A and B are shown apart, each in its own frame.
Chain A
Amino acid sequence: MRITLRDIRKRYGKVNANDGIDLEITEGSIHGILGENGAGKSTLMKVLAGYTTKTSGTILINGQPAEYDHPSQATRLGIGMLYQDPLDFPPLTVLENFMMGLDRGLVSREEAYRVRLKEMADHFGFHLDPGTAVERLTVGERQQLELVRLLALGVEVLILDEPTTGISSLQKQALFSALRKLASEGKTILLVSHKLEDVEALCDRITVLRRGKVEGDMGLPFEGGKLLVWMFGNELAPPPCFERRTGEGPLALAMEGVSALGGRAGLSSCQVAVRKGEVLGLAGLEGSGQGLFLRLAAGLEKPQTGKIRVAEEDMTGRDHHAYRAKGVTFLPAGRLEEGLMPGLTITEHFALQQQKGVVIHWPKAWDRAQQGIERFRIRGNPFSAAESLSGGNQQRLLLALLPDNPLLLLLEHPTRGLDMDSVRWVWEKLTAYAVQGTSIVFSSAELDEIFQMADRILVFFNGVVVKDVRTCDTTVEELAKAIAGKG
């Protein structure tokens, strides 16, 4: 089946997740879609799989326009998607999962499907025991099951979203050989990934997305350097090096051989020190350990081994509130999930900061809310509920709620989803904090943001800090390589 995408657009509020994408995928090919997080890959694939409705644009299947807005319709047209988190039923057995959506009669024909499952699994060299509960399988095995199930449903176009995350290298080999086999049998494969090595190893053609647009398109043989530049951009200005940020001050935070579980990759033997007034940028693909690093530094997660010190004091194993008392403040990326309390007004958020007394001084809280709204230019009034604010204004509210003189600010994607004006404004405020001696550690998916704002950069790859450099001692190319795991 041949798929043609013409001028696909998808808007989420003010954000253009897909901004006019044209793409041609030929039959029997393995086509890689490469891009950083937030580049629009997943959105595009969800549109193609019928999981989200596109704002505008046309999808052509074998040259014929097709309109659908539900995954089951897409499956009927022959398009199936293997999600990053398998959409299966963990308590049911492998066979029951396989039959789900296939077996439509009143009487289940279990034996027939048992045979069919075995045939298909053998064809690809998968080992799937029909009687095992799916919750006891590894991610790789669940993926194999889902793959076989989709093929049994008659899928001709197979979309795989980050399929190599969380599976063993052996399973990866099995998956890749299965995909090659499928392509040779005339199936069309779309592989979405931010892992350059995987895409390079498997695909016939690669399209790079960046900021919702097609940045470039390349057939074999691939030029890795060019792909990286497409992914991360090359318009970066040389970073400024400030004299005051020499990194000689007293320690604000130190991680000594810290390892922890969590996220996709965990974190292993992390050795990092942050000094007073330093701005540290955490780079890396999403889920490489940055989020866990921030949560460990905030006391929200506990390390398995190693020590964490805040201002020279050993804080290992203590909870977030102990860290808070030492002046550590954490700003999570999920503003409404972890940062703010939906249903509470701006005034109520300020009132929660009152530390003493039984009764709330509402007039005082109202005054502080009013001041915060003015100083931080929040578009809302003291009675606005947090969830009624736009993403940018929610971020401004979170910043307005920060204490006046924290020791260490931990910011997870502080500018994600903000317009350029808000980004500049947020950094104005954050820089003011750094000038007064607050240490800032932030993660970002935008390499240029890290380059411009950080004094020092840590690059995470697969749960390991693979690079720890001062911004003025490195280049974009060097960082991009480290991020892609080639450093």
Chain B
Amino acid sequence: MSLFPESTPPKELLLRVLFIAGGVFCLTSLVLLVAGAPPWPAFYHLFLGAFGSWSKLAQVLMVWIPLTLCACGLLYSFRIGLWNIGVEGQVVAGAIASTAVLRFGVEAGAPFLMIVLAFAAGMLGGSAWAILAGFLKTKGGVNEIFGGLGLNFVAQGITLWLIFGPWKRPGVGSMSGTELFPESLWLPTLLSGKISPVGLAVTVLALVVATWVLNRTRLGLALKGIGSNARAAYIHGLNPNTYFIIAMGMAGGCAGLAGAFQVTGVYHRLIPVISSNYGYLALLVVMLANYRAWGSPWIAFFFACLNVGSIQLPIVLKLDSSLSGIIQGALVLTTLLVYGLRRKAKGEERPA
């Protein structure tokens, strides 16, 4: 999709992919063997857990939606060279904002309008949270990594406060979250609640928009130029600080959509772990996709398969479901290793 594709020869690309796959397989098998579990059945059940039935596949898609939305957002912030670790908090902020709208909607009626408003509020909430990190960087000189990380904790804290405070269930607050919304405020689904066509449509739209903005618009090119060399971009007439805020706003907007989807389409309430770590996971997705739009949805899909596939491992094999995390981690490490080795082989000068 990129107008200017990278010039890696296909043979080398294939070799790299094979090396990465092999590395992941070896590392994961090693961990399994150390844990005293047979690797083959583990991989088999992992596969079965993701593709064993239509309902499993539908579950995978329900994970794919928020993960890909976060990845879409990160494409903007990575393009301008920002490490938007705060994406996790932006998901949470989006979820909080859309819960607020739905709580109002319980009394107000007009459910369709309320769901639309909940998505809009989610987007704005995520955006605002991200722009806060952006201003911390441009006005306060706080690195976006630290600012974002700090804001993640704040967002998490606010969620807990809401669940146990103002928004607590009648009677006593509990870790299971706020009270469930009436079904009229749930995102419409097919296959008895397994697949949300609206969620899929929003995600595909976000992907198309991201690809279009990054490759076809002046904004996308400005983000790329500043990400490549902010000083030169400034001399060429672009104002990096303005674009930092815009990129963060767009990234946060996508993450906020993911949060809104978690509330309206998955949990139908606000829970303490509403983000399900999809923000952090999306960082890995985009890194693996080499910060490009076309690769991200596929890697997000693979990651979603791992997440869903590992759910039944504890039941079938008495293995912890964290195996998916190990595979994802091993994947990122081997990929970074391959890139690192390649850079080293190209011969970098000794650091000054």
Contacts and interface: CB of A to CB of B under 8 A. Distances in A.
A481 interface: no
B239 A348 contact: no
A358 B3 CA distance: 17
A258 B243 CA distance: 32
Nearest to B238: A352
Indicate the member of B228, B229, B231 with the most A CB atoms within 10 Å: B229
Interface in B45-97: none
Nearest to A401: B236
B229 A340 contact: yes
B217 A360 contact: yes
Contact of A342 (B3, B228, B239): B228
B270 to A, nearest CB: 36
A337 interface: yes
B289 interface: no
Interface string B91-106: 0000000000000000
A362 to B, nearest CB: 7
B233 interface: yes
B235 A332 contact: yes
Contacts of B217: 358-360
A11 to B, nearest CB: 15
B336 interface: no
Contacts of B221: 344, 348, 351-352, 360
B344 interface: no
Interface string B230-253: 011111111100000000000000
Contacts of B222: 352
A321 interface: yes
Contacts of A330: 235
A330 B236 CA distance: 9
Contacts of B225: 341, 344, 348, 352
A138 B27 CA distance: 52
A79 to B, nearest CB: 18
Contacts of B234: 320
Contacts of B40: none
A345 interface: yes
A223 interface: no
B4 interface: yes
A339 B231 CA distance: 8
B233 A341 contact: yes
A348 B219 CA distance: 12
Contacts of B228: 341-344
A185 interface: no
A168 interface: no
Indicate the member of A300, A337, A348, A357 with the most B CB atoms within 10 Å: A348
B216 interface: yes
Interface in B8-29: none
Contacts of A56: none
B4 A345 contact: yes
Given A341-B225, A345-B4, A358 B218 contact: yes
Nearest to B236: A352
Sorting the interface of chain B by its residue count into under 10, 10 to 19, 20 to 34 or 35 or more gives 20 to 34
B137 interface: no
A354 interface: yes
A363 to B, nearest CB: 11
A360 B224 contact: no
A473 interface: no
Interface string A329-341: 0101000111111
B224 A338 contact: no
A222 interface: no
Contact of A362 (B3, B232, B236, B238): B3
Given A345-B4, A383-B4, A354 B218 contact: yes
Interface string A307-331: 0000000000000110010000010
A363 B59 CA distance: 44
A342 B225 CA distance: 8
B218 A357 contact: yes
Contacts of A341: 224-225, 228-229, 232-233, 236
B76 to A, nearest CB: 15
A338 B216 contact: no
Contacts of B4: 345, 348, 383
A360 B221 CA distance: 9
A342 B236 contact: no
A321 B241 CA distance: 13
A131 to B, nearest CB: 30
Given A338-B232, A339-B232, A360 B218 contact: yes
Contacts of A337: 229, 231-232
B240 to A, nearest CB: 11
Nearest to B237: A324
B4 to A, nearest CB: 6
Nearest to B230: A341
A382 to B, nearest CB: 10
A433 to B, nearest CB: 18
Interface of A: 300, 320-321, 324, 330, 332, 336-345, 348, 351-354, 357-360, 362, 383, 401
Given A357-B218, A359-B216, A360-B221, 13 more contacts: A338-B229, A339-B232, A339-B235, A341-B225, A343-B228, A344-B224, A345-B4, A351-B218, A352-B222, A354-B218, A358-B218, A360-B216, A362-B216
| 9 nearest CB pairs, A to B | A341-B228, A343-B228, A341-B229, A341-B225, A338-B231, A341-B232, A338-B232, A358-B217, A359-B216
20 contacts: A320-B235, A321-B237, A330-B235, A337-B232, A338-B231, A341-B224, A341-B236, A342-B228, A343-B228, A344-B225, A348-B221, A352-B222, A352-B225, A352-B233, A352-B236, A352-B238, A359-B217, A360-B221, A362-B216, A383-B4
